[in-house]
Each structure stands twice: as C-alpha cells, then as structure tokens.
C-alpha cells in the first residue's frame, strides 16, 4: 500500500472511530435522560432474578472509595417477601397525601444495598458515594430493558430485623424496580425556585430540574 492509500485508510479509520464514539455518546445521553424515578409499576410483570444479578455484576465493576468494595446486595423478587418489605418503606416525601403505590402498582423486585462494616476502611460517608455510583449503574442498565426504579432511603428501623441481617451488615438504600405504570416529565425550575415534584390530574409526574446555567460555577482564582 502506497503512502497516499495509507493516509486515506487512516483518515477513514479516524472517521469511523469518531462516528462510533458519537453513537456511544448519544446512547449514553439517551439512557441518562430516560433514567427517571418511577413510583408506580406494572406489578404483574415479573423481574427475572438472573437479570437483576447481571445488573449488580455491572455495578460491582464501578468505582469504589479506596477500592474498599464495601457494598453487598440482597435481591427480593418473591411476592410474599415483597409484601413483607413494602410496609417498611416510605414513598415520595413531597406528596403528603400519597402513601405509596396501591396493590397492582407496587415494585416487582427490590435490590437492597447493604454496607458490610467488616470491609469498611474509611468514613461511612464513602459507602454512600459507592452506593450512588452502584445504583446509577443498575438503573442505566435497567432502563435499556424498559425497567425503571426508585431509590428509597427512608425506611423503618425494623427493616434490618425483618431481613435477619447479621450485625456487620446495615441497610443503606432500597432500590425498588419494575416496569413503569406512570409517565415522568422533566421541566425547568420556575422563578420561585420550587424544586418539589408533583403529579397532575392525568397522573403524569413532573420533576423540576435546575438549568445548566444555574449549576455552573466559574473559577474565580
């Protein structure tokens, strides 16, 4: 191959790489925008445990403070166990007159994120950083298959007893999962700065988000 053809081949390869990267960026962006918190589900549609395990397998490969990997996970898909778990959870703090999804609209599965204190090397705060990274990885993987979720950090102190956890394991977060039974719409925060989400008469969930301009801080040093 002469120099001219080599240069042409390199240029073509570079163009293919750019196009591939753009497709990947578009795909990631699409998933990030689609990954919304859902609180009403199609409860009758089951979640396969092996699929949830595959999402956790992705999560375990994510970043971890000090590489401590202090998180453990409990998968709950059994209907009887789900019914026991549900009353221990608090839903949508801004909706004072709503106490969570009705039967038939409840999650089809849960991933309970646990802190293994035997593995904790630093501050407990680091475990929450890990939990945020891990659950976002799970939700991004889930949305690709049409499954959505809700992170729940408000739960009864009795939850640990219900789960029969050993002393070194603590519940950090409950991730409720299922196929969505409601629409979620993003909108810009209004001039009054109110960031409370709300549900309209048609059942659409409205979630105010601050604009990009509002969250960017210019370096001043």
pLDDT in tens, 56-108: 999 999 999 999 999 999 999 999 999 999 999 999 888 888 989 999 999 99
Strands 205-209 and 184-188: parallel
- Name the CATH topology of 185-215: putative fmn-dependent nitroreductase like fold (2.20.180)
Residue from 86, 120, 124, 127 nearest 105 by CA? 86
Taking the domains of the chain in order of start, what are their residue ranges?
49-181, 185-215
Specify the CATH number of the domain 49-181.
3.40.109.10
Who's near 57: CB < 8 A, 6+ residues apart? none
Q: What share of the chain is helix, strand, coil (3-state, %, to 5)?
A: 40, 20, 40
CA distance readout (Å), 55 to 27, 72, 74, 80, 218: 18, 13, 13, 23, 37
Please report which confidence band the pLDDT of residue 9 belongs to, taking 50, 70 and 90 as the band edges: low
Look up the pTM and report it.
Answer: 0.85
């Amino acid at each position: 191959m002469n120099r001219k053809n080599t240069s042409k081949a390199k240029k073509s390869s570079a163009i293919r790489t750019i196009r591939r990267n753009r497709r990947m960026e578009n795909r990631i962006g699409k998933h990030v925008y689609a990954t919304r918190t859902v609180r009403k589900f199609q409860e009758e549609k089951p979640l396969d445990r092996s699929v949830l395990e595959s999402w956790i397998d992705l999560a375990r490969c994510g970043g971890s403070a000090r590489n401590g990997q202090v998180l453990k996970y409990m998968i709950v898909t059994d209907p009887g166990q789900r019914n026991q778990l549900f009353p221990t959870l608090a839903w949508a703090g801004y909706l004072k007159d709503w106490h969570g999804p009705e039967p038939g609209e409840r999650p089809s599965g849960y991933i309970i994120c646990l802190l293994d204190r035997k593995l904790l090397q630093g501050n407990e705060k680091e475990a929450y950083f890990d939990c945020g990274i891990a659950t976002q990885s799970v939700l991004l993987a889930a949305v690709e298959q049409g499954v959505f979720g809700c992170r729940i950090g408000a739960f009864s102190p009795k939850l640990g007893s219900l789960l029969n956890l050993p002393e070194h394991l603590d519940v950090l977060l409950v991730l409720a999962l299922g196929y969505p039974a409601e629409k979620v719409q993003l909108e810009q925060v209004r001039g009054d700065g109110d960031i409370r989400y709300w549900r309209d008469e048609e059942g659409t969930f409205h979630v105010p988000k601050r604009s990009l301009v509002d969250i960017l801080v210019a370096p001043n040093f």
